[in-house]
A and B are shown apart, each in its own frame.
Chain A
Amino acid sequence: MRTRAAVSAALASAGILIAGWQSGVHIADSSSAVASAATGTAGSTGMGTGTGTGTDDSTASSGSSGAGTTGAAGASAKAVGTYAGSVVQTRFGSVQVQITVQAGKITDVTALQLTDAERKSVQISNRAAPLLRDEVLQSQSADVQTISGATVTSDAYLNSLQAALDAANL
């Protein structure tokens, strides 16, 4: 009888664990599907050439980055790759980072998920959480139309990125 209890308990527990594991694998699959979907978007975003160094030249090149995009797309089979990091649990939820590599250089870093939006605990879902600089979209890969910064005085405007953008669009 003791054997019966031990065997049934082992079987039941194993069954429950396997069922849990199977549905867990299912979740992991769907999230990697999301990740690969995101890869496409992030990849195309990453094509833009840098506006980040802030000089008028680079901004201008951003304005005419169509060629750069096609070039990169053509080479994408070999030179472009997106890599999703593993999901890391933080006190603010799970974080997954994705990098885009072009010609051996990291061109784009995005956080694929803080957590799956609807699975996130509501109470802290919109709390500001620490992150590394490479976890936000980096400047050289961001093709932007306007720039937000702490109040720019008229004097400072001349050297600002916004001025460069405005100049490009005059």
Chain B
Amino acid sequence: MTAPAVSRTWTGAIRARAVRELPPEQMLPDRQPVYVASWIYVFGVLTLAAFLVVLVSGGVLALKGPQWWHRSSTGHFVNSLHLWSVELFMAFMVIHLWGKFFMAAWRGRRAMTWVTGAVCFLGSIGTAFTGYLVQSNLDSQWISTQAKDGLNAAGIGAFFNVLDFGQMLMWHIVLLPLVVGFVVCIHIVQVRRRGVVPPMEIDPRDAIPEEVTS
């Protein structure tokens, strides 16, 4: 039997690389190490679930436009869904982050998993901040006129004008969600590629067999 020919196309090369780097059984495993047995692990998936609710509720608000929620009770309820899903998302993410910190989850070539997670956290703060700016009510007026001083003092305000509703709306509903969503995807792929970080001390029963290490 002859081996299948290796494709010389760019597409074939990318497919081969993807299958090699991200094998399906590693991306969606149905078994986990025995130490993956704590409530703290739930907060990662809760964060992801809340992120989805944030995107869906925000998507409905985007469909109807930024003024809809001020004049419609349905719109106001959808805005409430968006607000509370954001509060849950941030709460879950902070707990997830602290959990990973105390697990030193960057051990074992998992630094990029931590880095992408931290970038997600910071990006989410920026996204939530722009959300507060585009509420178009007293709160957004006050936050924007106060925040401008910090951003201007850092030189950022010259390009990122929090008093420009249109610019902030675009950042909030397009640019930042795209960035955060992209980094979240990289973060999840990193988690699956590297696996869940093991405890700091290992039971000898879980040690690597001699034939593997010698």
A-B complex is real: no
Q: Using a CB–CB distance below 8 Å, which chain A residues touch chain B?
A: none
